[in-house]
Chain A
Amino acid sequence: MVANSGSKGPKLNEPMDVEPSTSKSNIGIDNRPWIERYRPLYFSDIVGNDEIIKRLKEFADVGNVPNIIMAGPPGVGKTTTILCLARQLLGAAMKDAVLELNASSDRGIDVVRNKIKMFAQQKVTLAPGRHKIIILDEADSMTEGAQQALRRTMELYSGTTRFALACNNSEKIIEAIQSRCAMLRCSKLTDAQVLAKVLEVCEKEQVSHTDDGLEAIVFTAQGDMRQALNNLQSTSNGFGHVNSENVFKVCDEPHPVLVKDMLNQCVAGDIAKAYKIMAHLWKLGYAAEDIISNIFRVCKGHQMDKMLQLDFVQEIGKTHMTIVQGTNSLLQMAGLLARLCDKAKSYRK
């Protein structure tokens, strides 16, 4: 294991070299989860957000990148992009010239003032236009005091050091820092992009799969590549075969077909049938929050009248709020269904 982690570069090519062999022997060689094994090393391998990647690539060739903030939902490749940028800019010097801190590292004011400054002051010989890079992953979890301490540091050492921040919610980053960085906003990956990558991995790992299985993987992932690959690996390790039934067993989510059916009953105004499905889901043991977020996901993509859909989304949102506040009983869900039916009926009149 220790030897493995030391030589990441050549090892990544191995799955390709031993492609004809079975997946089991691959696992013997490489113990990392698939999401790590297929983490892109170069810009060309990164899926989605093409505009951002293109622009960063230009910078990586010329050098002199500004400080950047990558903001976006989880699993769209924020950290991967930053690492690729660092790799392309710094090459072999990456080991000495990159400091990576994430939420699990200590990042109070003390660390910002001392560790980051120490690193910024260190002398590393780099080509012109290249700078040391400090990667702050999950920067939105930094305290405000720590961010305040960072803002002047960013400018004082801008001759030698660049910052790359990754965060989910850019509103948690103070304005002073946002003003000092170029904001790159990543959006969720499209289903097609996720599917293409999943297919590629399936081929390399020789996973037996069906079309509806992959569809289920893509649906559960919701544009999150990390989740897609993790779900794929768990399903394939657990059942040996990826079909929709197995995927939903592994991910343990209410089946979207059932939820869709339920929504259709609501549109038709049939509360009894809709409630039957809800009671069935409840009996299966799903938490109210799981069910409601699944209903929302199905509803926003559902083909239905726009006015009615708006009302539905609003009701679902309100119910979600009450559930998060603690009222997560079956009665609330039944109330939601009743309100949806009511809306549908009043709309038809």
Chain B
Amino acid sequence: MLALASPIVDTNALWKIVLASLAAGAGVAIAFGILLIGVSRAQKTTNGGARVLDYGLAVIMGAFCVFAVVAGIHAMTVKH
């Protein structure tokens, strides 16, 4: 089916779009959720080590979200 549709649909580009969208779209929503969990747990725990780990997890997830936004803005400026 995909082979028949290839003149109209560039399946190579289509898969890249699907994978990039999954990584950036679903990925950011999930990463943001883990960030919230990290912050929530860090605020509630009394264990200093666990707090550092939870905040560390939140920072990593936050960095992923920021990276996705920067990549998105970069994509706007270098459209093919």
A, B bound: no
Residues of chain A having any CB pair with chain B under 8 Å:
none
- B residues with a Cβ closer than 8 A to A are none
